[in-house]
Chains A and B, each alone.
Chain A
Amino acid sequence: MVESVVDVFNTSSKYIIPLLLAGIPCYGLFKKVKVYEVFVEGAKEGFDIAIRIIPYLVAILVAIGMFRASGALDLFIGALSPVLNLIGFPSENLLLAIMRPLSGSGSFGLLSDLVEQYGTDSLFAKIGATMFGSTETTFYILAVYFGSVGIKKVRHSVVAGLIADTVGVFSAVYICRFLFG
């Protein structure tokens, strides 16, 4: 039963990207959008974003690369892994989970590192990508949104936001472990 659910999911998920790639332009045509012009305009943004993240990626990947090469990462993971193993949390994903609410570009750098180390098909990369996609940079949003209107007393929003992040991170781990084993 459980296996067949996973099978159905794995087969049907292959259709998501092609369906979006075909469906959205069709919907656009139906709504009389100038599909080609709009596509090109959006695509330009992709170029800008990829270039803009280079400095952040250099900083984070160099730092994490040095951290790993020096053996500090192993020390850190080794110290925490008994606790993490107990709850089934892969220690490779721990840094990303901690970084996610603090920095968007930082956590993207850590996700790139997971992909670089273990490949896109690995469980670590999939858990990482799910973590990255399922929560936002809580402290950045807090600063920008409340800062824009001059709110100083943020009351329970930080605690509630971090509870949401924690639940998201653990959900990502357990859902991926269930689906990808």
Chain B
Amino acid sequence: MIVISVVVAIGTDIATYIATRTAADIDTSTAADEMMKIDADAVTEAATEMMKIDAVTEAAIQYAEIAVELAIGLIGIMALWLGIMKIADESGLVDVIAKVVRPITLKLFPDVPPDHPAIGSIVLNMAANVLGLGNAATPLGLKAMQELQELNPDKDTATNAMCTFLVINTSSVQLILPATVIALMGASASQIFLPTILATSMSTIAGVIAVKTLQNWKKFELKQEEKIDG
């Protein structure tokens, strides 16, 4: 990106330079109209002032500064929000959500026995995601993955359950926004809750439909002998 920027800036500069020079040349060669000459000079001057490469240098310096100011500015709201969410975590709100999520999970993972520990980990991972507790969700997700791997007859190929679990995680069902977004958006953050919940629901529904449809496609199907074994 940086390289492209510099190349484009230099390219634009050279183009403007050539353009203004040609304009000036034509002007001096005809040398008829004094007004036109002044115009051409003004153009050349303006072009030197607005050299893209200068703007690029300035942007680099300026944005490096903005980045730090921005991050420092986030500290307060981030601390507030993560503090509150830690209370949510400690008070067992995850378990409340887990009760709601469990029946849905059983429907989504027909290949996993309902009493298998993987179901428990998946449910907790999803509940943590719903609450926007990213830090809590990842270890639970990895644990779920390991437990799903125990059920997997072919250790280097993903099972249907693994693919479904992964897609649900990447499309992230969320009721509560990530702390970073709340910090960045400040007071406007409250307006983002509903659209985010709607958009994330749409993406999760689409993901589940996609994963359930694609798993039976020839290209993605598990090999026949493995099916018999498993």
Please state if A168 and B78 are interface contacts (CB–CB under 8 Å): no
Give chain B residues whose Cβ lies under 8 Å from the Cβ of A20.
84, 176
List, in ascending order, chain B residues with CB within 8 A of A84's CB. Answer: none
**Is B60 an interface residue when CB atoms closer than 8 A count as contact?**
yes
Q: Would you list which residues of chain A between 147 and 177 have a CB under 8 Å from chain B?
A: 148-157, 159-161, 163-168, 171-172, 175-176
Give the CA-CA distance A139 to B90 in the complex, in Å: 30
Taking a contact as CB atoms closer than 8 A, the residue among B66, B169, B211 that contacts A136 in the complex is B169
Residues of B within 8 A of A83 (CB): none
In the bound assembly, the distance between CA atoms of A71 and B184 in angstroms comes to 26
A149 touching B5, Cβ below 8 Å = no
Measured in the bound complex, the distance between the Cα atoms of B203 and A175 in whole Å is 13
**When the two chains form their complex, are residues B186 and A120 in contact, meaning their CB atoms are under 8 A apart?**
yes
Q: Is the CB of B195 within 8 A of A176?
A: yes
User: What chain B residues lie within 8 Å of A149 (beta carbons)?
Assistant: 145-146, 148-149
Query: With A58-B64, A69-B55 given, is the CB distance from A42 to B169 under 8 Å?
Result: no
SS class, residues of chain A in contact with chain B: helix
> Contact string, B177-221, partner A, CB cutoff 8 A, digits 1/0?
111111111111111111110111011111100110011010010
Q: How many A-B residue pairs have CB under 8 A?
A: 348
CB distance from B135 to the nearest CB of A (A): 8
Shortest beta-carbon distance, B112 to chain A, in Å?
15
Q: Please indicate which of the listed interface residues A115, A157, A165 has the most CB atoms of chain B within 10 Å of its own CB.
A: A157
1/0 per residue, CB under 8 A from B, across A100-129: the answer is 010000001101100110001100011001
Q: How far is the CA of A131 from the CA of B192 in the complex (A)?
A: 10
Contact of A43 among B68, B83, B194, B206 (CB under 8 A): B83
Given A70-B8, A141-B170, A156-B211, A13 contacting B194 (CB threshold 8 A): yes
A164 to nearest B CB, angstroms? Answer: 3
What A residues does B91 contact at CB under 8 A? 24, 27-28, 30-31, 33
Q: Which residues of A contact B (CB under 8 A)?
A: 9-10, 13-17, 20-21, 24-25, 27-28, 30-31, 33, 35, 38-47, 49-51, 53-54, 57-58, 60-72, 75, 101, 108-109, 111-112, 115-116, 120-121, 125-126, 129-138, 141-142, 144-146, 148-157, 159-161, 163-168, 171-172, 175-176, 179-180
